[in-house]
Amino acid sequence: MIAALLTFAALTGGFDTVPAMVTVSGANGESRVPVRLDESGAPVVPAPILLDALSGSSSISNGWAEVSIARQAFRFLLDAPLYMFDNRLRPLAAAASIRQDTLYLPFQFVAEVLPSRLGNRFRYDDRKARLTMVGPKSGVTAARAPDPTPERLPNGLRPGHIVTIDPGHGGVDPGNPGVFFPRGTREKDVTLQMGLLLRDELKRRGVGVQMTRTSDTLIALGDRGGYCTEACDLFVSIHVNSLARRPGYTDIRGFETFFLAEAKTEDAARVAQMENEAVRFEARPTESGGAMGLDFILKDLQLNEHLRESARAAELVQRQLQAVHTGENRGVKQAGFMVLTTARRPAILVELGYSTNPDDGRFLTSYGGQRAMASALADAIVEYLLEYERKTSGGNESGK
């Protein structure tokens, strides 16, 4: 008896016990819904089995799962512990997520959310692990109109934004060797750590994320931009700078953000050349040559429009990073980065600091430094998206 009960009090926010199975008693009779643990150890239930038992339905769009039960709509932000009900965003103990094409909902939805939000329709018996659906009272339907798509997230953003994060280098391409990084840590490791942290920070802010890589693997420079297509709002490539050995080279430190245009300074051209060298690790050469194709690409008007947006995003990133970074703000710069030529949307490349400087090296590889930078980058991106929304929605909402 006790053996069948697992204790996850800390994760379930108040539940003493989590059953291995929940009995759901609904219009279709009784069903048994298994309770599983997700990757973080939080209890979840497979939505198809639960919704079958409750005659509900679900659909997925723009990073949200909409679940309809008893004519009530619950919207779950995928991979973030939040749901929307009654036009309000509310916290959860665990996130809804999709694993192997199956939507999983937090166990808390069964034991707590349904009975508390729809108290006239649902009872949950903790001891018997049983969810009971009761009929509407004397023929009066308790149904309200389903929630419309939420208009705004708490931070003011419209839901549905997608940002592509590109952690530089990877696999056989280590990036720069990381002179002042801990032994064995190279540029490709720091860019991946930062990319994953930034992904989490953006999701927490309700922004969808597409990663060019989530593991130590090489993606061709010419392919990276392709992850940011029409539905993508911004492409963010993450790198770490370094200098060649020469007198005083360890003194230079700080962060800078690039957008794609003709390099204006020798140093900007140097950084672009250094990052473009990654092509030598690729098995097949990419079609669009880096600097060679740049003239042609810069004549593309659509891209020029994106350049304005890219420059603005770069500015906001620099401003936010300045608040947390211990090194110098080296400003917004422009240069011909091959990786940016393939993104057909606004695109920036951030050099987070110099691995050839001891202070930057320490900051870039510290957990605190990485967390602070990821949070600053996410704030800058949200700021950029808010500005972009304001700019583009002017005509649409003029009727009001």
Q: Can you give the binding site for Zn ion, defined by CB under 5 A?
A: 168, 175, 239, 275
Residues with Cβ within 8 Å of residue 40, at least 6 apart in sequence: 11, 94
Closest CB to Zn ion among residues 46, 174: 174
φ/ψ (deg, to 5) at 106: -60, 140
309's enclosing H/E stretch is helix 301-324
Closest CB to Zn ion among residues 168, 290: 168
Give min distance, CB of 344 to Zn ion, in A.
Answer: 22
Residue 179 in tokens: 């002179």
Closest CB to Zn ion among residues 186, 239: 239
Closest CB to Zn ion among residues 109, 181: 181
Give min distance, CB of 239 to Zn ion, in A.
Answer: 3
CA distances from 392 to 366, 385, 397 (A): 39, 10, 10
DSSP 109: I
Residue 3 in tokens: 């053996």
Give min distance, CB of 189 to Zn ion, in A.
Answer: 12
Residue 261 in tokens: 């245009």
Pairing, β 234-241 against β 162-167: parallel
- Look at phi and psi of residue 71 and say left if phi exceeds 0, alpha if psi is from -120 to 50, else beta: left
Give min distance, CB of 106 to Zn ion, in A.
Answer: 39
Closest CB to Zn ion among residues 124, 235: 235
C-alpha 7/C-alpha 335 separation (Å) is 56
Give min distance, CB of 376 to Zn ion, in A.
Answer: 19
Q: Collapse the DSSP code of 334 into the 3-class scheme (helix H, G, I; strand E, B; otherwise coil) and give the result.
A: strand
C-alpha 216/C-alpha 96 separation (Å) is 27
C-alpha 388/C-alpha 211 separation (Å) is 22
Residues with Cβ within 8 Å of residue 169, at least 6 apart in sequence: 175, 186, 187, 188, 191, 218, 239, 278
Give min distance, CB of 265 to Zn ion, in A.
Answer: 18
Give min distance, CB of 53 to Zn ion, in A.
Answer: 51
Q: Given the structure tokens 């990485």, which residue do they identify?
A: 370
Tell me if 227 sits within 8 A of 210, measured CB to CB. yes
State which amino acid sits at residue 399: G
Burial code (b: 16+ CB inside 10 Å, e: under 16) for 223-247 equals: ebbebbeeebbbbbbbbbbbbeeee
C-alpha 23/C-alpha 35 separation (Å) is 10
Closest CB to Zn ion among residues 150, 225: 225
Give min distance, CB of 281 to Zn ion, in A.
Answer: 12
Give min distance, CB of 129 to Zn ion, in A.
Answer: 52
Tell me if 214 sits within 8 A of 193, measured CB to CB. no
Give min distance, CB of 249 to Zn ion, in A.
Answer: 17
DSSP 264: -
Closest CB to Zn ion among residues 69, 314: 314
Closest CB to Zn ion among residues 41, 171: 171
Closest CB to Zn ion among residues 76, 354: 354
Closest CB to Zn ion among residues 173, 379: 173
Tell me if 105 sits within 8 A of 48, measured CB to CB. no
